[in-house]
Amino acid sequence: MGKAKQVLHIIFVLVLALPALFFQTKHIEASTTQNLPFNTTVTGYITNSNLEQTYKITLPRAGKIKVNVDSYIGDIYLDLLDSKGNKVWDEKDIYYGTTTTPKEWSDDEDLEPGTYYIKVYQYGDNTGKYTLNVGYNQANNNDVEPNNGTLQAQPITVNTQNITGYISWNDDTDYYKITLSKAGRISINLDSYIDEVYLDLLDSKRNKVWDQKDIYYGSPSTPKQWSDYVDLEPGTYFIKIYQYDDYTGTYNLNVHYDTANNNEVEPNNGTTQAQTLTLNKQKISGFISWNDDTDFYKITLPKAGRISVNLDSYLDEVYLDLFNSNGQKIWDRLDIYYGSPSTPKQWSSYEDLEAGTYYIKVSQYSYNTGKYNLSVHYTQANNNEAEPNNGTTQAQTLAMNKQKVTGYISWNDDTDFYKVTLPKAGKITVNLDSYLEEVYLDLLDSKGKQIWYEDIYYGSSSTPKQWSNEETLSPGTYYIKVHKYSEHTGKYVLSVKAPFLLPATPAVNIVSTSSTSVTGNTNTQSTVYVKIGSKTYSKLSDSKGNFKVTIPTQKTGTKIYIYAKNNYGTSGQRTVIVGAPPSTPTITTVSNNSTYVSGKTSKNSTVSVKIGSKTYSKSSDSKGNFKVTIPKQKAGTKIYVIAKNTYGASLQKRVTVVDRIPPSTPSVNSISYKSKYISGRAEANSTVSAYVGSKKIGSTKADKYGKYQMKISPRKKGTSIKVIAIDKAGNKSGGNTVKVR
């Protein structure tokens, strides 16, 4: 020991002497305890009279000390004690030192702040010199001790706070507390500079979310960068970091937190807590977490219909169940997988259900957690069948020819019965438009015995299978049974036609503009309807099926629709058009030269030409023109023309045959220069005139025998006299020119 060091030694001994008296442990003796600053080398001697020395070190903050000993002694012991005398190190055995070559020994320890003692003491009877030096590195941790249990747990602000913690010889556990205001995902990130360390995550009741996550391969130079996440409900949680074996050191800790933004209403963990989901409107965002593995939703169908359940799942895998109100499973743990936080699995499935309350259960698959969106689309079936109709006694009566019933086969209704009753034998047709992929239809007799059944397939919700079948049946009651094939559900439209029970399409007599009723024939005791424009007139047919329905008179061309109804439906419809008799014919002049009578009346009418006792007839063409051939008639003959069609006869038209034949050239007896008369023969009753040049010199009327005698003044010999005759109609004969002799 040098002079300076000896002085120091004495000062230390003096300073330490008094407080050292109070130490309770016998291992530390006041006479040999000295303060040892860090990074200061002190030399000590073990002799048979000085068997041990104690050094005191003080750590202002937690950190790592490194104890270095160069021992020139064959063997010595070294202990490290805390301020209470607990042995951090017990009997570190430093051997193989010699007086010439020291044993270079060192060891380190992570320690909390405080006072510690290093005790060097004799082993056996070995004596000699040693040097001691203690290095110190602050851990620079910012965790707040004590934090050794949930009650002391240090709060961490998620997303912002970075903790540097420290596991040391005398602090093996650190607790941190996080508070989640909403459900969400936390990621715990730990950079561990420790060889190996444990991490637990606890809920507020100290249930272990994570148990002994073992984080290893850390080192003071290269931390292990570890991270893990978990989905949690709102609440307080504890992170516990604690020692593995005797490994110590620092770590960095932070917690990242993303709220799930779920809008479900917890607790919703069973049917009684089930959250009501509004059909077609509500999109629920739900969350399956470590501490919530089940969500129940309740839906209510006011009427039978189809629900589509849509789930966007951000979970790797999740279960979905559908129950009815009795707890029966409609869907049993449908397994929805391939979801991920970045790309949800877009899943959908549908079911046809009767009216009622149902439950959807979303539940955890294995340890998968995360978010999902749930919505339910609902379309009413709009079926008009009368449930219950599940057997012959409940069978719904189906009105043949009239009724189309829309029925529905659903998960909870697999059978519908319908009843028809035939008053007489005949052929019926059963028609089914099936929107089901496949369905059975049975025809049963009055005792419920099957007559036939049919497997009707290839229907779809968009395009129904249009099926029909005919059967001739004797009078009686029959049942039609529509029932489920396998698991197929959906809508159908059923009708039964029995045309033989309908009234015949009425036979209708013509209706003219003068008609005040529509008459005809159909089945007996049927109500006959006459529809004109927006008005309908009706009357029951009589015991022979004849009917007479009073109507106001109608204009020509008016369309009238006639049909009959009875208890089994409506007959076919007859259409008649109101017609009128032809118009009074117009006639082109008929002469004694004519070989026909022509003119115009209404189209397609029969034109009759009556002359004396004879009648000649012909149809008018499509424009109403007609031409009826007749024998030539004498002028003055009366002709009667009338036109007829199905609606009646026109007024009669009378025409008189006109004269169009000129008289023959009159004969002229010889005329002398003394003659005072010209005579001859001409057409009976014609007017005979004589001309000299253009001058009329006389005129007379032939008698009924054709004789005429005309008074003239005598004319000179050689004078040319022209004689002509003109009949009553003004027809002129040729001229007869004679010379006066």
Q: Write out the residues near Ca ion by the rule CB under 5 A.
A: 147-148, 171, 174, 287, 292, 295, 389-390, 408, 413, 416
| Closest to Ca ion by CB, 254 or 412 | 412
- Amino acid identity of residue 654, one-letter, is R
**DSSP three-state, residue 66:** strand
Nearer to Ca ion, 140 or 709 (CB): 140
| Location of structure tokens 């697999």 | 414
State in angstroms the smallest separation of the CB of 454 from Ca ion.
18
Which one-letter DSSP state was computed for residue 659? P
What are the tokens at 63? 């950190």
Per DSSP, 708 falls in state E
DSSP category for residue 505: P
Task: Give the nearer residue to Ca ion in terms of CB position, either 275 or 598.
Answer: 275
Residue with smaller CB distance to Ca ion, 147 or 594? 147
The burial of 24, by beta-carbon neighbours within 10 Å (0-12 exposed, 13-18 middle, 19 or more buried), is given as exposed
Instruction: Give CA separation, 254 vs 176, 187, 349, in Å.
Output: 10, 8, 42
Smallest distance from Ca ion to CB 317, Å: 16
Pairwise CA distance, residues 175 & 153, whole Å: 5
583-608 in b/e burial notation, b at 16+ Cβ within 10 A? ebbebeebebebeebbbbbbeebbbb
Cβ atoms 140, 193 nearer than 8 A: no
Q: How far is CA 514 from CA 123, 576, 645, in A?
A: 150, 15, 14
Q: Which is nearer to Ca ion, 360 or 738 (CB)?
A: 360
Question: Which CB sits closer to Ca ion, 195 or 295?
Answer: 295
We find the least distance from the C-beta atom of residue 149 to Ca ion, in angstroms, to be 9
- Beta carbon nearer to Ca ion, 184 or 582: 184
CB of 415 to Ca ion, least distance (A): 5
DSSP assigned state of 623:
T
Q: How far is the CB of 492 from Ca ion (least distance, A)?
A: 9
Instruction: Closer to Ca ion by CB, 136 or 408: give it.
Output: 408
CA distance 382 to 146: 70
Token representation of residue 241: 């970091």
Minimum separation from the CB atom of position 407 to Ca ion (A): 5
CA distance 47 to 54: 14
Strand partners of residue 518: 549
Q: Alpha-carbon distance 292 to 276, whole Å?
A: 18
Residue-wise burial string across 517-552, b where 16 or more C-beta atoms lie within 10 A, e elsewhere: ebbbbbbeebbbbbbbeeeebebebeeebebebebe
C-beta of 107 vs 438, nearer to Ca ion: 438
Nearer to Ca ion, 171 or 727 (CB): 171
- Measured distance CA(571)–CA(558) in Å, rounded: 22
> Looking up tokens 């204009």, which residue turns up?
555
315 or 322, CB closer to Ca ion? 315
Comparing CA positions, the residue from 684, 687, 680, 685 lying closest to residue 666 is 680
Q: Which residues contact 471 (CB under 8 A, 6 or more apart)?
A: 427, 428, 430, 443, 451, 452
Q: CB-based contacts of 314: which residues, under 8 Å, 6+ apart?
A: 339, 340, 341, 344, 370, 371, 372
Q: Residue 275 carries which side chain, given as an amino acid letter?
A: Q
Contacts (Cβ under 8 Å, ≥6 apart) of 112: 59, 62, 145, 168, 169, 170, 171
CB 294, min distance to Ca ion, A: 8
Q: Per DSSP, what are the bridge partners of residue 198?
A: 214, 242
The answer to whether the CB of 582 falls within 8 A of the CB of 521 is: no
Q: Mapping DSSP to helix (H, G, I), strand (E, B) and coil, where does residue 542 land? A: coil
Output the six-digit token pair for 482.
Answer: 């529509």
Question: Minimal distance in Å, beta carbon 23 to Ca ion?
Answer: 26
183-to-204, 262, 608, 630 alpha-carbon distances in Å: 14, 8, 104, 112
Non-local (6+) Cβ contacts of 571 within 8 A are 502, 503, 504, 505, 506, 522, 523, 526, 563, 564, 565
CB of 195 to Ca ion, least distance (A): 18
Task: Report the candidate in 270, 278, 285, 206 with the shortest Cα–Cα distance to residue 240.
Answer: 206
DSSP 8-state class, residue 30: G
Q: Which is nearer to Ca ion, 235 or 572 (CB)?
A: 235
